Structure 1
Amino acid sequence: MPPPLRVFVAPGCAGCARALELAAFVGRRRPTHSVEVVDLTDPRARVPDSVVGTPAFLIGDRLFSLGNPDPERLLTEIDHINEATG
């Protein structure tokens, strides 16, 4: 099973509205890939040390992008991961 895309957001984050749009975009374009949105205000949130700001995009526990990535680059990375684990 491929590692999920995890998108870390927080209130007051200037780029987080776009990050939520990107999470939804990936969910529509790659519906079989798990996408999780993690709100840093949730006390149950597990936040890796690599998340030093928001928005942050992790694939599994690996930081893919601090800030919003290019949508096509994100899909390409997810496709590579799915091919490697599929």
Structure 2
Amino acid sequence: MNKQERFFALKISSIMATRMFGLFMIFPVFSVYASEYESTTPYLIGLAIGIYGLTQALLQIPFGYLSDQYGRKPMLIVGLVIFFIG
């Protein structure tokens, strides 16, 4: 890797690290607020939080492949539509 590629990789890594740090800071707060709802169990709270990570893990590689085939912008729009529906 040349200097420009290393700098780009560092920027992308920093963005992803910040995203994951923020996400994992919010998860405990979600569970506290979710426990205030009636008829919730720790199992359901964990399931609701875990589904996010599971779907992200399962769809990340297929969406990467599709974004190579159809372009980044159309796949971002599809991802946002799925996000809003969820």
Normalised TM-score (structure 1): 0.29
- Higher share in helix: 2
Structure with bigger strand share is: 1
- Choose 1 or 2 for highest CA Rg: 2
Q: Higher RCO, 1 or 2 (CA under 8 Å, sep at least 6)? A: 1
